[in-house]
Structure 1
Amino acid sequence: MATTDAPITNGINYPDWEDRYYHVDQVLDNPGPRTDPDSFMAGDGVKNFLRNQCKILVIGAGGLGCEILANLALSGFKDIHVIDMDTIDISNLNRQFLFRSKDVGQPKATVAAEYIMKRVPGVKVTPYYGKIQDKDDDYYMQFNLVICGLDSVEARRWINATLVNLVDPENPESLKPLIDGGTEGFKGQARVILPTITSCYECSLDMLNKPTTFPICTIANTPRLPEHCIEWASVLEWPKVKGDMKLDTDDPEHIQWLYSVALERAQEFKIEGVTWSLTQGVVKNIIPAIASTNAIIAASCCNEAFKIATSSAAYLNNYFMLIGTESVYSHTFEHEKRNDCPVCGGESLEVSISESWTVERLIEMLVEKQDIQIKKPSLSTPTKQIYFQAPPQLEVATRPNLEKKVSELVPDGGDVTVTATTLPFSLSLRITYT
């Protein structure tokens, strides 16, 4: 058996056996028609970098993440890190193939890492059970690539802004390519983001569907759908009955309480369709996941990671879409940078409003604006606090400003800084009046 240097996994040195990477080496040993001769160094150099030097981070160990981890390990990446804040639920087992019934309740990242290392000897997978926000800039600087297999827009915005802010023009190593994958039923997308160079995640925020919301008057007085009953239970009845207790959508007892209350209300209004799984889906905004879609998108993400890590072919520029609702259709296109992008644009976002607008009206516009998507924004200028959502004392102190005109507080061409707990950066607005 031929051996080469291999990482130590769980205290055991696993050698590479002869022809382990025979098919991968066909790509790495020989330049191809789309290979850039200035960047691709065929042979041992690129293979050594891929297998012994390249460090890659996978964010998310769910439906996409499981596929991504397996693909990377089998492609030759040997130093993989994975972050996930969730534990395994029994509902995950139909599509997240690294998990088994005995794993229910365990951290996804930990179980996924152990499974990959067991099945693919020589690969080291380092798990972290927690939030991406727990880690600082130095942590992200150690990686050559980052792949996202997330189901959260907020988390994507956070890592996107973090990697953009890491870029130092004087240090090429500070640019960390971000590969983002996402699925929704039979549809999916994969994209390559080179922070500060290509369009970033924030540039394309207006392509997302707005979250489904129901008018309070409907859910309170005239519910017609099972979702109305569930929203009523979570938005109105929970705080009324539970007081200051925070609703934990990952707690089965909390979901059970909502289900029981919603079912009772549905029966009162003769509405059918309230189930435990629908209750969980509504309050957690769960999007249907299909294993085949996850597999295709994960393969696309890993293909791009392989090309970027090895320079063996031109990487995606910069957006791949999969549409499988009626047939299998795919489309690639370049999403251009937004000059006014609040993350990678480098300039204040120009906002033109009427002189009669109140602060409350400006906040409503920010919440509704599709290319910003911000919840509960707080506003300030370099010299004054306009309105703050928290802490409670500051909210009370600045509440009278809601009824004031913006023009009374901000001069024409003046800057307003917008912050929010869900916004991973400070948004700078330049206000002009019509």
Structure 2
Amino acid sequence: MTTAVSNGGPSKLTSYLADETRFAHIDKVLDRRGPWTDERFIGGQETKDFLRTQSKILVIGAGGLGCEILQNLALSGFNDIHVIDMDTIDISNLNRQFLFREADVGKSKALCAAEFVMKRVPGVKVTPYHGKIQDHPQSFYAQFNIVVAGLDSISARRWINATLVQMAQDDEENLKPLIDGGTEGFKGQARVILPTVTSCYECSIDMLTPPTAFPICTIANTPRLPEHCIEWASVLEWPKVFKDKKLDTDDPDHIEWLYRQASARAAQFKIEGVTWALTQGVVKNIIPAIASTNAIIAASCCNEALKIATACAPFLNNYMMYVGNDSVYTYTFEHEKRPECPVCGGESLTADVGRDWTLEKFIDSLIARQDLQITRPSLSTSRGALYWPSPPDVHEATKPNLEKLLLDLLGEEDGITVLDPALPVSLSITVNYV
């Protein structure tokens, strides 16, 4: 949207936003009952006052999806909005993250987005937080009525989902609806998660496309693609040089180091195409964002937020898919809870294994499971560590177990506890010998 300014005076849009009639169309929905109105709907001034003066909503992410969500919420009547994002603005963001300008490059996304929305929508309070969502305790999330996630990170989604489920399990009064939006090129989804009531994010983890994996022997000995050089730098060289220091794919200094290492290896094998952007894309599994997809998914998420906050219509139950590759196609369905979900399920996970399986074969079977989406699991029993890929001293001590039979290590009765960087919780597995 562009705004014309003439004679140095305020634009028509600015005047409109400052006028109380800006919510006239939304008031028509909130003033009276309609054919699809939720049975909880009260309507009238009480509902409008709750929306505009009492409700508190958190937006996680101020990127392509988050920018759209913030403006939609502000123009829908949410007046107490909080936004959290750990990233800073890059020049490449400006083609779709329209709350930012060239002068903002290098600044915090959360801070700049908050300032822009408050400037354009008078009366709206947007509170920014620059940092990781994991840095905040459960008490921080307990203050909000609704949480809207516009994230590009699977691990962050899994973490906030597990946190909100844990809060609801500890105290049912602490149930915070989570509206999750995600885009992948011309595809996207919006879903409503009521922790402990509906299926959670972890219940649908098997719907995700597993990240591309390259054979270790190829990236170690005979790289042929720029991606092989980048994987070599991140998977083999980083642990060798930095030992216990964890690679942070959101840290520009870490990406820069990987880029330089991958570039040197590519030159050694006469491979072209290693760039800083490709390095970041490979280690973060980034898929290019499409502005129109962001707009559509953000609109769906904000519609659900308005319906939950006001009960003006039944909210989504509970999953909407959008596909815009060849046309405009949407499909809604109810994603059911998974009984063996490690986050919200009530049943323990069982793994069928052969009596001749080694520990290494068992670990490979866990990594191959679509419903777990793990990559570097650490396994323990009540008697101690079975196999830990890190730190180096524990890795060396447990590495010989990989060649041993699982039956010899466990016996008939023992269960296994699994930890993984991708898992938001520890996983208990009961072994069933077949």
Same fold (TM over 0.5): yes
Q: List aligned pairs for 1:213-362, cutoff 5 A.
A: 213-236=213-236, 249-250=249-250, 255=255, 258-259=258-259, 262-263=262-263, 266=266, 271-362=271-362
Cα shift at 1:175: 1.1
C-alpha distance in structure 1 between counterparts of 2:401 and 2:258, whole Å: 36
C-alpha distance in structure 1 between counterparts of 2:242 and 2:160, whole Å: 34
Cα shift at 1:180: 0.5
Amino acid at match of 1:416: I
8 Å contact from structure 1 (residues 413, 432) kept in 2: no
Q: List aligned pairs for 1:31-430, cutoff 5 A.
A: 31-37=33-39, 39-168=40-169, 172-236=172-236, 249-250=249-250, 255=255, 258-259=258-259, 262-263=262-263, 266=266, 271-430=271-430
Distance 1:406 1:301, change over 3 A: same
8 Å contact from structure 1 (residues 414, 432) kept in 2: no
Amino acid at match of 1:55: K
Cα shift at 1:51: 0.9
Q: Residue 190 of structure 2 aligns to a residue in which SS? A: strand
Cα shift at 1:315: 0.7
Amino acid at match of 2:109: K
8 Å contact from structure 2 (residues 158, 424) kept in 1: yes
1:72-102 residue CA offsets vs partner (Å, 9 max, x unmatched): 1110111111111111111111111111112
Asked if 1:30 is matched to 2:32, the reply is yes
8 Å contact from structure 2 (residues 259, 275) kept in 1: yes
Q: Residue 21 of structure 1 aligns to a residue in which SS? A: helix
1:209-230 residue CA offsets vs partner (Å, 9 max, x unmatched): 0101211222344433332333
Cα shift at 1:152: 0.8
Distance 1:28 1:208, change over 3 A: same
Cα shift at 1:371: 0.5
1:5 match: none
Distance 1:70 1:372, change over 3 A: same
Amino acid at match of 1:325: N
TM-score (structure 2 length as normaliser): 0.89
Cα shift at 1:110: 1.3
TM-score (structure 1 length as normaliser): 0.89
Distance 1:56 1:242, change over 3 A: closer
Amino acid at match of 1:85: M
2:10 match: none
C-alpha distance in structure 2 between counterparts of 1:310 and 1:40, whole Å: 7
C-alpha distance in structure 1 between counterparts of 2:236 and 2:292, whole Å: 38
- Computed over aligned residues only, the root mean square deviation of the Cα atoms, in angstroms, reads 2.5
C-alpha distance in structure 1 between counterparts of 2:381 and 2:217, whole Å: 35
Cα shift at 1:33: 0.7
Cα shift at 1:258: 4.7
C-alpha distance in structure 1 between counterparts of 2:145 and 2:115, whole Å: 22
Tell me whether 263-272 or 298-307 shows the greater mean CA deviation.
263-272
C-alpha distance in structure 2 between counterparts of 1:275 and 1:392, whole Å: 31
Distance 1:70 1:431, change over 3 A: same
C-alpha distance in structure 2 between counterparts of 1:36 and 1:245, whole Å: 51
C-alpha distance in structure 2 between counterparts of 1:199 and 1:237, whole Å: 39
Amino acid at match of 1:211: P
8 Å contact from structure 1 (residues 193, 199) kept in 2: yes
Distance 1:128 1:257, change over 3 A: closer
8 Å contact from structure 2 (residues 244, 392) kept in 1: no
C-alpha distance in structure 1 between counterparts of 2:412 and 2:245, whole Å: 43
8 Å contact from structure 1 (residues 167, 175) kept in 2: yes
1:382-421 residue CA offsets vs partner (Å, 9 max, x unmatched): 3443333444443344333333322223343542221233
Cα shift at 1:273: 3.8
Cα shift at 1:261: 5.4
Asked if 1:19 is matched to 2:21, the reply is yes
8 Å contact from structure 1 (residues 83, 128) kept in 2: yes
Q: Residue 48 of structure 2 aligns to a residue in which SS? A: helix
8 Å contact from structure 2 (residues 266, 274) kept in 1: yes
Distance 1:175 1:306, change over 3 A: same
Cα shift at 1:428: 1.2
Distance 1:203 1:20, change over 3 A: same
Distance 1:263 1:289, change over 3 A: same
Cα shift at 1:289: 0.3
Distance 1:376 1:126, change over 3 A: same
C-alpha distance in structure 1 between counterparts of 2:32 and 2:53, whole Å: 20
Tell me whether 372-381 or 206-215 shows the greater mean CA deviation.
372-381
